[in-house]
A = this chain, B = another copy of it.
Amino acid sequence: MTSTPPVTLDDVRDAAARLKGAAHRTPVLRSRTLDARVGAEVFLKCENLQRIGAFKFRGAYNAVSRLSPEQLAKGIASFSSGNHAQAVALAARELGSSAVIVMPEDTPLSKRAAAEGYGAEIVTYDRYTGDREAIGKALAAERGLALIPPYEHPHVIAGQGTAALELMEEVGELDLLLVPVGGGGLIAGSATAVKGLSGDIRVVGVEPEQGDDTKRSLAAGHRVTIPVPRTIADGQAAEIPGELTFSVNRRLVDGIALVSDDDIRAAMQFAFERLKTVVEPSGATALAAALSGRVDRVPPRVGIILSGGNIDARRFAELCGG
C-alpha cells in the first residue's frame, strides 16, 4: 500500500518555524554516569523543561497557529486530563483565542487549576458513562469551536516532531532514538523527522508493560484494543493506538520496548539524583528502557526524549521515597 504520508519532514520543519520564539528550544543533557550505564553516548532531549512542562505544547501550538483569525475568535475545544489540556489552554491564550477543555469529573484539582490558570474553561464528564471524544466533538459542533485532539491530527503530530528535529540539529547523527508512546503522536512526529533526516536511524517506542497496545498492534498489523492499563505512567494509559498515528508508526517505527513500573521509578530516581532533573512517570519511560537494559543491541549514539516533568512533590515522594 503506497499513499501520501499524512505528515512529512517538511511539515515538521514548518512547525519548527512556527514554534520559534513561542516554544523553548529545550536543552540536551549529557551524563558520564548515564553513558557508562547504557554503554553508549546518550543525548537526553529535555522536554520536561518545555513550556507547560511537556512536549505537548509543541503540537498544540502548531495546530492552533494554523487556525484562521475567524476560528481563533470563535475558540478551540479539546479533551484531556493531562498535559495536552494545559498545552491547548496556553497555546490558545498566546494566540489570542480561547479554549474549552473536556475533563473527567475526577481529574485532580491541580490539573484542572493548571488549565484554568491559562484561562481555559473546563467542562467535566463522568468517565464511566461518557466518551470524552464524542463530548468534545459535540461541544465543538454546538459552539463552532475547532477541535484539537491530543494526537489524532497532522498538525499536532508535526509539532511533536520538532523536539527530535532539534535534537538531531544539535547533536548530529544518531543510531537510535527512544521515544515514549501513549497515543502515538510524539513518536509519529519524531520518526517522521529523524527518518527524513537520516536513513540509518532506528526508532524504538517505549510503552509501559501493561499499556502495550502499540506493540501488540504493530505485531498484529492492525490496531488492537487492550484492557485499561494499570500503570504509574498515566500519560501512556492508552487502550488503542490512534488511527492516524498508527498509520504513521506502522511504517516508521522499528520496534517497541516495554518497561515495568519499577523500571520507571528507577529512571525517575536516576534523573533526580544524577541529572538533578524532574521527570514524570510517562516522561521517564524511554530513559527507563535504556537504563534497565530493555533495548536490544544498543548502538554507539542514542537519543532519548524525556517527554514531560509534571509531577508534584507529594506524588514523587509516594513513588520514589520508599
Contacts and interface: CB of A to CB of B under 8 A. Distances in A.
A229 interface: no
A313 B322 CA distance: 9
Interface string A261-283: 00000001100110011110000
A313 B309 contact: no
A49 interface: yes
Contact of A276 (B273, B278, B318): B278
A317 to B, nearest CB: 2
Q: Indicate how many identical chains form the complex.
A: 2
A318 B321 contact: yes
Contact of A277 (B269, B273, B276): B276
A272 B278 contact: yes
Interface residues of A, number: 23
Nearest to A274: B53
Given A278-B277, A278-B278, A321-B321, A272 B316 contact: yes
A249 interface: no
Interface centre among A276, A317, A321 (most CB of B within 10 A): A276
A70 interface: no
A314 interface: yes
Interface in A303-322: 309, 311-314, 316-318, 320-322
B273 A312 contact: yes
- For A277, A312, A313, the residue with the greatest tally of chain B CB atoms inside 10 Å of its CB is A313
A265 to B, nearest CB: 9
A255 interface: no
Contacts of A27: 27
A278 B277 CA distance: 6
A48 interface: yes
A313 B276 contact: no
A158 B321 CA distance: 38
A49 B276 contact: yes
A11 to B, nearest CB: 29
Interface string A28-52: 0000000000000000000011000
A44 to B, nearest CB: 13
Given A278-B276, A278-B278, A321-B321, A313 B49 contact: no
Nearest to A265: B313
A1 to B, nearest CB: 42
A153 B219 CA distance: 64
17 contacts: A268-B313, A272-B278, A273-B311, A273-B312, A276-B277, A276-B309, A277-B278, A313-B316, A313-B320, A314-B320, A314-B321, A314-B322, A316-B316, A317-B318, A317-B322, A318-B321, A321-B321
